[in-house]
Amino acid sequence: MAHNSTPHTRSLSSSLDTLRQDLGDALGALQANRGFAAVVVVALALGIGASTAVFSVMNAVLFNPLPYEHGHDLVRLHAAMPRANVEDTNFSVAEIHDMRNHVGSLSSVAELHVMYFILLGRAEPERVSTGVVSANFFRTLGVAPLLGRDFRDDDDQRGAPAVLLLSHRYWQQSFGGDPDIVGRTFQMNDRPHTVIGVLPPLPEYPEEASVFMPTSACPFRSNPVTEQTRTTRFLTAFARVAPDRHERLSGDLSVISNRLQASEPAAYPARAGYQLSAESLNEAMIKEFRPTLAILLATAAFLLLVLCCSVAALLLARVIHREREITLRSVLGATRPRLFRQFVTENLVLSGVGAALGLLIAIQSLGLLKTLAGRFTPRADGVGIDARVLLFLVAITILTSLIFGSITTLASRGKPALLLRNSDTRTGSSRTPFRHALVIVQIAVCFTLLAGAGLTFRSLVNMQRVDTGIRSDQVFTMRLPLDFIKHPTPANRATVYARLLNEIGQQPGVEVVAAAGSVPLNEAGSVGGTPVLVEGQDTHDRNLPPVSTEVVTGDYFRALGISLRDGRLFTVSDDLNAPPVALVNESFAKRYWPDGNGVGHRIRLAANANWMTVVGVVSDARQRITKDVGDQVFRPLLQQPLGEARLFVRTAVAADTMQKQVRDSIHRVDPQQPVEGIESLDEVRDRALASPRLTATLLAVVAFIALCISTLGIAGVVSFSVNQRIREFGTLMAIGMDRGFVLRLVLKQGAFLAGAGIALGLLGALALGRLMAPMLFGVGAADPLTLVAVAAVLLVVAIGATLEPARRASRVDPMVALRVA
């Protein structure tokens, strides 16, 4: 027996039938215009893909919650002395106790500082970054170990057995994720340390730590002198705000800072103005990334602007092409809402295909963006494609469909009188300026982005070509952290360095070996800041440039190709028992001695320091690639034995073949000596350029995408314009104009669009250049060469995009064109 369908069922069935019909019509219309569909899909894929990739970064650092329980209640505490120009300082142990006991709006306060210790008990000694934390640290954060247990309060008591928690990254990389790691014992600081647990993946903030220990296990932190001295400030403080106490926190911190200034004036002088403050932990993690994130968002907005202008121009051109079809449908009863639904469906199909391809583009670009974000924020590990990113992709797909559907509907006139005309030339004339304006805007934005990419590229080239005064070829370096328990005195350390350098220097293939406190050409290389006093001269003038200081052995200059200009280099006799000596660079010598001859003069680096006799002058060398050479003072390592040094080995053979040989030499002197960070000096230099290279690459990719979209837009608009003007071209050739005239006519249209866009883009490029000025090296913000080159590229691309439609126009048969309805 038949059943009558309900009104709801009939309505649903009717809606589905209409949808099927709309999809069928849309696919049919796009099938008939494959070239148009392909151009729009590619433009949408590039624009949507880039926007989705940028949103994935914003999602990870702004929208995703911290991987801590109730992360919105976590804060990082700060101290400052603004009247003494100290914007941010750490905390002493006593200050941590003060905040725990007297700030009622905080339910928990935890401390952290990172030190490096040598871990024994594996195949080779290993220096590990160690987070020294209070026992409540991970409870404050709301983190439970993945394996084992957390620290307990009794682990923090003096004399308690030493225990360790491993970070998830270190557990995976060094132990292969061994589930039986809990309970293993390692030697550190002459004590056994037992692994009690493994942490889940967490942001490495404020710096990387491989293992964590309670404060009782750290020789420095557990020292009674350290615990009792208020001015020994080395701790980072984190806290959890008590429920409903966020508004009171600022007032409570102000009260305790005032109390400390009143009760402890020696540690908190009134002239310094001691202040306490708090910022959310999430903000603390991402604030350095905010400027870069703003650039990324602006870049994505520019790309969307280019995309919208390009596709809108193409759609307007296509509306003119379909004017008679739209008019006929209107005459046959199609209403505006019906046409709107049809156009939205067509654009939804295009946007859907473009979004699918855009998702692939976004996935491929995540590595680049993740690397960029990782330089500024520990939250970069969360960058990826998740449900929120996919929702953004769907939303932007639907939004573009609605916008472009509306543009098509509003642009279509549907006047019956059009059916009586043989040509629709005049129907599009009023919309031509608007189409051209859209193309001009996208070319202007493209010019701006290309100019920015060009400036960063030229800066990068200049950095690579700069003469640093250092020969980095055939040199490799490594880090040697000495065990301060085995080598507690300067004499012990000086003896070890002398033995190590002697042993390595005897190896075949080693030309020269040296040691220093840091690596030049490094991003974090020394740039100076030490006040200097020159005997017989008034050097207290604050306008004098700061002096960079470095501790080196005499062969450091030979190893790095730095020349001796006057006097002598350091020798092994410049040790702890010899009078203090120093070397200066040419810049220093010329500044303080008119003839540049500083040998025999005396200097000192602080008012209460010992005078040092200058025994030589060496050639200038950059410590950072992007920083000009400044005044430098060098001291002998054997008079200032460091707890950690960098070795430099210049070899007569390939550097990588010598690394094992040098490592074995070190272990012959001390089998428990860790050797870390082995790399060539060329690699150090290359790594220093990683950040500007990444910025240049990102801008180049974005500019290239914008260029591709603009090219598609120009080609599409001109192509449709040519189709619209077939009768005009046929008439011109029928009255005697040659094909070259028609070709030039169409090419002029593309050149006009490019020229207008370049003129407008020049203003944007100049503004962008001023914003980028601090990032540039060796190139002006309004560099003429860059601007001319970008203009030439855009002009060539525009003419190239116009060339095929122009050729098609010049090949029109006049008789056929005149018969076109």
654-706, pLDDT tens digit by residue?
767 788 888 889 889 988 888 888 888 988 888 888 878 877 887 888 888 88
The secondary structure element, H or E, covering residue 128 is strand 126-133
**Looking at beta carbons, which pairs linking 328-336 to residues 24 or more positions away fall under 8 Å?**
328/419, 329/414, 330/414, 330/416, 331/416, 331/419, 336/409
Greater confidence (54 vs 433) lies with 54
**Three-class SS state of 235:** strand
* Residue 18: pLDDT over 70: no
State the residue range of the domain holding 714. 21-57+290-462+691-818
Quote the pLDDT of residue 765.
86
**Which residues, at least 6 apart from 187, have a Cβ–Cβ distance to it below 8 Å?**
119, 120, 121, 193
**Any domain includes 260:** yes
pLDDT at 818: 53
Nearest-5° Cα angle at 138, 137 to 143: 160
Question: 623 with 713, same domain?
Answer: no
The structure tokens 């404020």 sit at: 206
More confident residue, 338 or 534: 534
pLDDT, greater one: 625 or 742: 625
Among the listed ranges 266-280, 364-378, 738-752, which one has the minimum average pLDDT value? Answer: 738-752
pTM (2 d.p.): 0.72
**Structural domains of the chain, count:** 3
Contact predicate 311/401, CB 8 Å? no
Residue 814 banded pLDDT, cuts 50, 70, 90: low
CA–chain centroid gap for 647, Å, is: 30
178 CA to centre of own chain: 33
Residue with more model confidence, 412 or 744: 744
Is residue 524 scored above 70 in pLDDT? no
Cα separation of 811 and 730, whole Å?
10
Whole-angstrom distance, CA of residue 611 vs CA of residue 740: 84
Name the nearest CA neighbour of 216 among 162, 167, 165.
162
- Tell how far CA 439 is from the center of its chain: 32
SS3 label, residue 223? coil
Q: Where are the alpha helices (DSSP H) in 287-386?
A: 290-321, 323-331, 336-374
The token pair that represents 762 in the structure block = 């020049």
Instruction: Return d(Cα 680, Cα 71) in angstroms, integer.
Output: 42
Sorted by sequence, the CB contacts under 8 Å of residue 387 that are 6+ apart come out as none
CA distance 685 to 522: 6
Contact 113, 132 (CB under 8 A): yes
Residues 522 and 455 in one domain: no
How many CA atoms are closer than 13 Å to the CA of 572, on its beta-carbon side? 6
C-alpha span between 578 and 110 (Å, rounded): 47
Contact 405, 351 (CB under 8 A): no
Query: Which range (7-11, 250-254, 768-772) has the least confidence?
Result: 7-11
Helix axes of 290-321 and 690-724: crossing angle, nearest 10 degrees: 10
Question: What's the pLDDT tens digit per position in 764-782?
Answer: 888 888 877 877 888 888 8
Q: pLDDT of 345-400, one tens digit each?
A: 777 888 888 889 989 989 988 888 888 888 888 888 888 898 999 999 998 888 87
Q: Rounded to an integer, what distance in angstroms lies between the CA atom of residue 316 and that of residue 324?
A: 14
Using the 8-state DSSP alphabet, how is residue 66 labeled? P
The pairing of beta strand 644-651 with beta strand 510-516: antiparallel
Confidence of residue 328 (pLDDT cuts 50, 70, 90): low
Q: Are strands 581-585 and 612-618 parallel, antiparallel or unpaired?
A: parallel
In-domain check, residue 684: no
Rounded to an integer, the average pLDDT of 527-536 is 72
> What six digits make up the tokens of 114?
């990172």
Domain boundary among 287, 314, 345: 287
pLDDT of residue 408: 62
What pLDDT does 330 receive?
A: 57
Which backbone phi and psi does 702 adopt, to 5 degrees? Answer: -60, -45
Q: Who contacts 547 (Cβ-Cβ below 8 Å, separation ≥6)?
A: 528, 529, 530, 531, 532, 588, 605, 630, 631, 632, 633
Going by pLDDT thresholds of 50, 70 and 90, the confidence category of residue 430 is very low
More confident residue, 29 or 467: 467
CB 572 within 8 A of CB 638: yes
| Per-residue tokens: 617 | 């002058």
Q: Return the H-helix or E-strand segment holding 564.
A: strand 564-567
Residue 346 and residue 442 in one domain: yes
Distance CA 559, CA 541 (A): 35
Please indicate, yes or no, whether residues 666 and 774 belong to a single structural domain of this protein: no
* 321, pLDDT greater than 50: yes
Q: For residue 28, is it within any domain?
A: yes
Neighbouring CB atoms inside 10 A of 665's CB total: 21
Contact yes or no for 560/515 (Cβ under 8 A)? no
My answer on whether 588 and 726 are in the same domain is no
pLDDT band at 726 (very low <50, low <70, confident <90, very high): low
Q: Regarding predicted confidence, which is higher, 594 or 581?
A: 581
Q: What is the pLDDT of residues 254-265, one digit of tens each?
A: 999 999 998 888
Q: In the prediction, which pLDDT does 778 show?
A: 86
Of 224, 256, 287, the residue that ends a domain is 287
Whether pLDDT at 1 is above 60:
no
Same domain as 309, residue 439? yes
Domain end among 287, 316, 344: 287
pLDDT recorded at residue 816: 54
Taking alpha carbons only, the member of 376, 439, 278, 350 closest to residue 57 is 376
Reply yes or no on whether the pLDDT at 422 is more than 60: no
Joined together, the tokens standing for residue 314 give: 């193409």
- What does the pLDDT look like over 189-245, one tens digit per residue? 889 999 999 999 999 998 899 999 999 999 888 888 888 888 888 999 999 999 888
Find the helix or strand (DSSP H, E) in which 513 lies.
strand 510-516
Domain presence at residue 79:
yes
**Which residues 6+ apart lie within 8 Å of 87 measured at CB?**
80
Q: What is the pLDDT of residue 167?
A: 96
Of 747, 773, 497, nearest in space to 637 by CA: 497
Q: How does the average pLDDT of the chain come out, rounded?
A: 82
78 with 118, same domain: the answer is yes
Per-residue pLDDT, averaged over 795-809, amounts to: 77
pLDDT number for residue 3:
52
Residues 222 and 130 in one domain: yes
Domain assignment present for 500: yes
pLDDT of 92 above 90: yes
Radius of gyration of the chain (CA): 35
Supply the pLDDT for residue 725.
Answer: 64
Binned at pLDDT 50, 70 and 90, residue 535 comes out as confident
Q: What value does the mean pLDDT take over residues 741-760?
A: 81
Cα separation values, 240 from 67, 76, 98, 417, 428, Å: 14, 9, 15, 74, 65
Tell me phi and psi for residue 70, to 5 degrees. Answer: 50, 55
Distance between CA atoms of 139 and 74, rounded to whole angstroms? 12
- Token pair, residue 703, equals 């500019």
**582: nearest Cα among 569, 595, 594:** 569
Q: What is the pLDDT of residue 729?
A: 64
Cα torsion at 586, 588, 589, 590 (round to 10°)? 80
| More confident of the two residues 315 and 273 | 273
Domain membership of residue 478 (yes or no) is: no
C-alpha distances out from residue 323 to 317, 330, 424, 646, Å: 10, 10, 8, 75
Instruction: Give the per-residue pLDDT at 485.
Output: 76
Considering the domain architecture, whether residues 260 and 402 belong to the same structural domain is answered as no
User: Per 3-state DSSP, what percentage of the chain is helix, strand, and coil (rounded to 5)?
Assistant: 55, 15, 30
CA distance 325 to 313: 19
* Cβ atoms 681, 477 nearer than 8 A: yes
Residues 664 and 533 in one domain: yes
Tell whether 113 and 211 lie within a shared domain: yes
407/520 same-domain check: no
Question: Is 804 inside a domain boundary?
Answer: yes
Domain assignment present for residue 495? The answer is yes
Q: What is the DSSP string of 514-534?
A: EEESS-TT-TT-----B--EE
> Which residue type sits at 820?
V
